[in-house]
Amino acid sequence: MHRTVLRHEKITLQRCQSCCSNYHCPFCGPKVFKPAMEHHVVENHVRNHLSLAVQHEEFLIVKCNLQCREQAHFHCCYCPNTVIRKVQIVQHLASCKKRQVPPTEPATDEPATINEPVVPSAPIVPSAPVDINEPVVPSAPVDVNEPVVPSEPVAFKEPAVTERVPLPVKSLLVPQKSRIQKKVQCGHCGITVNKKNLDVHVKRKHTGKICDVTEDRHLPSQCIDPVSGIYAVEKSFRRPCSVIHVQKKTSGPHSVVACEMDECISKLEFAARSGFQHFECIHLKSLQFCPWPNRIPVVLDEDVLVDMIAANVFGEQTKTTCVATKAAASAAGVPLSVELTIGGPSTKKYISVYEPKVSYYGRLGRVIASYDSTRNTWHCPCAKPRSCLHKNIARWHLFQLHCQLFVSSPIDRPAQGLAQEHACQESTRLEYPPQW
């Protein structure tokens, strides 16, 4: 029989030793089903074959894709014919079984054996002694080699051919040893999933969906420079998320509406080419719910730099650069540094720093430097490992307002450091009233 005709055989999946080291499907060619390196992939494929197979008596006929024909087909278990459709193979099996003539035994001299097809309707009562060596002759001559045809043709109508029988799919597969699934962590939400399910998880849970921006559902934003129309907006609705800059200035002779995201820039350019001049991304749409700035901009004191040099935060050259950048920001009429109250998680602090040069990481003249208080690490999009101007200005800002972040523990601090920290806390309370 063909390999696709099964009769209680166990299917064992083994790695190929001839052309590759992967697992092959025993019912499909390499052009139809590409060999896989993982066992469970081929096992699920074979179970799909068995669930769609045709069961006829003790046979289980699986659809063949081994290039016996150009199309997928079924092999008959009685003859070498092949059938493409499943309905046709069921009809073919019923008719092919009828054509199979049962074998006849050779004639012997024994009287009336159990293989004789003649069954008398009534017992024969002999009128004279009967010779046991003489065979019983019925009332009408019957050909022994011709089978008796019943009155109703019900002998070959078997329910197994027409009715669907649950297939023992799992019993045909040889059980493999349980393998330890490799766990990975999702980069969006942080949960741990199996490595093979990571792509499906990202597609279902973290695929971007277009939703309208409303009063109940919008991105939190904060005004940085109301004169130039610079705002800070959270990047996405998923938490935790970073913060980006947008600009929306509609007053004055030159109106500017821009976003830092590359995807939003492409959408704005496409809308402008299509004639939609008033198109806005979700970051720009969320600005209509931005609260009005009620904080006084923080002016960084140059005397704090002297304390930072004494604390070995940075050196004299960095101090000179920071003072020059402060003078450039004052000349441009923009704030040097602004601490953001949006973004996450709560252990991070985001500082928007003035950047005089427009570049790929500061397209709107500002850069966001972040500080993680849990890991004690800094991040800046300019990606300069050593001397980063934005990180130094952000350190200056935090040292003036939150100098307790630069002290390790109260036990190791000297009395002078404690007095300096109390002075910093007092200045912080004066700068930020309790209602804010």
Q: Evaluate whether 194 touches 181 at the Cβ level (below 8 Å).
A: yes
Residue 287 has pLDDT above 90, yes or no: yes
Q: 46: closest CA among 80, 3, 89?
A: 3
DSSP string across 107-137: P-SSSS-TT-----SS----SS---TTSPP-
* Terminal CA-CA length for the chain: 84
Q: Distance between CA atoms of 172 and 168, rounded to whole angstroms?
A: 7
Say whether 314 sits in a helix, a strand or coil. coil
Residue 432 has pLDDT above 70, yes or no: no
Dump pLDDT digits (tens) for 162-209.
444 444 555 666 666 556 788 999 887 888 999 989 988 888 887 766
Residue 76 has pLDDT above 50, yes or no: yes
Dump pLDDT digits (tens) for 369-389.
999 988 888 899 987 766 789
pLDDT at 358: 87
pLDDT at 155: 45
**Report field, pTM of the whole predicted structure over 0.75:** no
Label residue 225 by pLDDT band (50, 70, 90).
very high
Number of H helices, E strands in the chain: 11, 15
Query: What are the residue ranges spanned by the domains of the chain?
Result: 5-100+162-172, 179-207, 215-293, 295-436
Burial class (CB in 10 A: 0-12, 13-18, 19+), 28: buried
CB atoms within 10 A of CB 377: 10
pLDDT at 223: 94
Averaged pLDDT, 239-253: 88
Q: Distance between CA atoms of 254 and 229, rounded to whole angstroms?
A: 12
C-alpha distance from residue 337 to each of 157, 165, 297, 365 (Å): 89, 75, 8, 12
What sign results for the dihedral spanned by CA atoms 322, 327, 332, 334?
A: positive
Averaged pLDDT, 60-82: 91
Q: Tell me how many degrees the CA angle 239-244-248 measures, rounded to the nearest 5.
A: 125
CA trace torsion 80, 81, 84, 87 (10° rounding)? -110
One-letter amino acid identity for 170? K
The DSSP letter of residue 224 is: E
Residue 185, φ and ψ in degrees, nearest 5: -110, 135
Q: Evaluate whether 21 touches 14 at the Cβ level (below 8 Å).
A: no
pLDDT at 384: 76
* Beta strands at 377-379 and 366-372: parallel, antiparallel or unpaired: antiparallel
Q: What H or E segment, with its residue span, contains residue 248?
A: strand 243-249
Label residue 211 by pLDDT band (50, 70, 90).
low
Specify the length of the chain in residues.
436
3-state helix, strand and coil shares in percent for the chain, rounded to the nearest 5: 30, 15, 55
CB atoms within 10 A of CB 18: 5
Structure tokens at 407: 């002290």
Residue whose entry in the numeric block shows the structure tokens 């069961």: 55
Label residue 413 by pLDDT band (50, 70, 90).
very low
Q: Evaluate whether 399 touches 313 at the Cβ level (below 8 Å).
A: yes
Q: 161: closest CA among 3, 54, 4?
A: 54
